[in-house]
C-alpha cells in the first residue's frame, strides 16, 4: 500500500498566499487549496482547523517575516558606524521596511496589504491565532519603544507617537495607499519625511501629561 503523501505546512501556506495575491482573499477555500496542493479536505481541516485558521496562519507567517525584516533593518542602522546618527538611520530603516519586504517576499507583502487585522478577527478565528496576532502587535510596539529610547532616551506616549508617525503613518501614506512600493523616488521622499519629523522630535517632557506616559 502506498504511503500517504506528507505535505510541508509551508507549501500549503505558499499556495494560500499565492492564491490571495492572484485572486484575492475570497478565492481561498478549503476545496481550492486541496485541489492546488493535492491534500484532502480532511487533511487540511486536521492541519489548520478551518478556512479562517488557514488564512490566519498565512497572515501570521507574513507578519512574522515582515517584523523580522524590520528588526534586521533597525539593527543594521543602530550598528552601522559613521555618517548620520545611528538611531535616526534605524528609524529610517524601519520606515523603509515595507519596500524591502516587498522585494524579498512579494506574495507575503500582498497578504499584509490585502488582509488587515480587523479582517481576520471574528467568530471563526481560532483562539491561538488571535493570541499570536496580539503578540505580534506587542512586538511591533516594543520595536517602536526601542527606537524612541534610542532616539531620545524616552518611552512616553508622545515620543513613541512620533516614531509611530515615522514607521507606520508615513509608509502607509507615501508607499502603500498609493501603490508606490517599487518607486525609488517615493522611497526617497519617505526617508526625507522621516528625517524631517525626527529633526523636530517630540514635545519636551515637561509638556507631556504623566497620564500619557507608557510604562
**Which CATH number characterizes residue 84's domain?**
1.10.357
Residue 81's pLDDT is 65
Residue 1's pLDDT is 38
pTM: 0.86
SS (H, E, C) the chain: CCCCCCCCHHHHHHHHHHHHHHHCHHHCCHHHHHHHHCCCHHHHHHHHCCHHHHHHHHHHHHHHHHHHHHHHHHHHHHHCCCCCCHHHHHHHHHHCHHHHHHHHCHHHHHHHHHCCHHHHCCCCCCHHHHHHHHHHHHHHHHHHHHHHHHHHCCCCHHHHHHHHHHHHHHHHHHHHCCCCCCCHHHHHHHHHHHHHHHHHCCCCHHHCCHHHCCC
User: Which residue range is the domain that position 65 belongs to?
Assistant: 59-203
Cα separation of 206 and 52, whole Å?
47
Residue 90 lies in a domain: yes
Residue 38 lies in a domain: no
Is 67:140 a contact under the CB 8 Å cutoff? yes
Residue 89 lies in a domain: yes
Residue 28 lies in a domain: no
pLDDT mean values, one per 10 residues, the chain (215 residues): 58 93 89 92 90 91 96 93 79 97 95 75 72 93 96 96 98 94 96 97 76 46
Amino acid at each position: 500500500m502506498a504511503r500517504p503523501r506528507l505535505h510541508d505546512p509551508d507549501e500549503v501556506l505558499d499556495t494560500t498566499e499565492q492564491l490571495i495575491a492572484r485572486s484575492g482573499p475570497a478565492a481561498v477555500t478549503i476545496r481550492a487549496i486541496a485541489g492546488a496542493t493535492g491534500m484532502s479536505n480532511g487533511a487540511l481541516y486536521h492541519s489548520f482547523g478551518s478556512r479562517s485558521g488557514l488564512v490566519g496562519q498565512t497572515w501570521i507567517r507574513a507578519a512574522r517575516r515582515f517584523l523580522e525584516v524590520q528588526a534586521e533593518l533597525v539593527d543594521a542602522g543602530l550598528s552601522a558606524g559613521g555618517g548620520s546618527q545611528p538611531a535616526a538611520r534605524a528609524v529610517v530603516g524601519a520606515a523603509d521596511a515595507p519596500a524591502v519586504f516587498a522585494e524579498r517576499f512579494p506574495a507575503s507583502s500582498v497578504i499584509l496589504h490585502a488582509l488587515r487585522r480587523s479582517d481576520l478577527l471574528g467568530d471563526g478565528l481560532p483562539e491561538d491565532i488571535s493570541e499570536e496576532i496580539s503578540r505580534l502587535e506587542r512586538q511591533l510596539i516594543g520595536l517602536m519603544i526601542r527606537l524612541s529610547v534610542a532616539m531620545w532616551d524616552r518611552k512616553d506616549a508622545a515620543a513613541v507617537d512620533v516614531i509611530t508617525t515615522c514607521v507606520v503613518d508615513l509608509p502607509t501614506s507615501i508607499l502603500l495607499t498609493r501603490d508606490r512600493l517599487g518607486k525609488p523616488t517615493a522611497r526617497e521622499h519617505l526617508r526625507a519625511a522621516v528625517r524631517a519629523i525626527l529633526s523636530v522630535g517630540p514635545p519636551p517632557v515637561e509638556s507631556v501629561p504623566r497620564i500619557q506616559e507608557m510604562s
